[in-house]
Each structure stands twice: as structure tokens, then as C-alpha cells.
Amino acid sequence: MNIKFRGLFLIVIITLSSCKTNHTAVIPKANIKEVVNSSDVTLVDVRIPEQYAAGTAKNAINIPLADIQNNIETLKGNKVVVFCNKGVQADQAMEILKKNGVEAYDGTSWKNVKAIQDETTKKAN
């Protein structure tokens, strides 16, 4: 291999390697406190109606996990925070909502979402 060819080969390799792009976008994790307290959020308790009636977060609506798929169209276009008792059903609801193009956030449990609301109320007073 002559020197000119090696030089050209080296330039081509350097040029190609410098043109690599990183296609993995870094998406910042949403601050759940900000999302819960957002004026345009829909809070969705995915537990069964009896559990919802026993206690939930302020302004939350009840759409049981079994009914989430049937309510996709009403949730599209909204920021949605889903929660349940411990987060298991909320995780399942998140998966369904995200697969269907809903901007969904995991509030984990209703007590967590309520605590966020209570904390914000205390700061405001």
C-alpha cells in the first residue's frame, strides 16, 4: 500500500467516524409533582369503584384498569396521571395508554398523588 493511498484511507475513516450520529434521544424524566399539579392534567384512579369510593386523590376520575382500553379516545390529547393502590395496576395502565399514544405518567399510588396535592396546598397557604 503506498503512502498516498494510506493517507487517503485514513482521512476517509476519520471523516466517516466523525459523522456518526447518536440516535438515542435523551428524554428528561417528568417531575411527577409538576405533572400532578398541572392545571391541564387528568388524574385517573385505575382501581375498582369500591376502592375508589373508599378514598382517592382530589379531582381524580375512576376508570378501572379493565376499562382503560375502552377509554383511550377520551384520554387522548390530555396529560394523564394514573395510579392505584401500590402501582401494579398503574404500570399496566401506563403500558396500554402509551401504546395508544396517550401522554401518560405514573403516579404509583393514590396516597402518593394525594400527598403531592397536600404538600402543594400547604406550600400555598
Q: Answer whether residue 1 is part of any domain.
A: no
Q: Which three cell numbers stand for residue 12?
A: 476517509
32-50 tens-digit pLDDT: 999 999 999 999 999 999 9
Own/partner pairs, 8-15, CB within 8 angstroms, 24+ separation: none
* 103 backbone dihedrals φ, ψ, rounded to 5°: -75, 95
Q: How far is CA 81 from the centre of its chain?
A: 8
64-115 tens-digit pLDDT: 999 999 999 999 999 999 999 999 999 999 999 999 999 999 999 999 999 9
**Helix/strand/coil percent split, the chain, to 5:** 50, 15, 35
Q: What's the domain count of the chain?
A: 1
Q: Answer whether residue 91 is part of any domain.
A: yes
Q: Answer whether residue 12 is part of any domain.
A: no
Q: Using alpha carbons only, how large is the chain's radius of gyration in Å?
A: 24
**Which domain, by its residues, includes 100?**
23-124
Reported pTM = 0.74
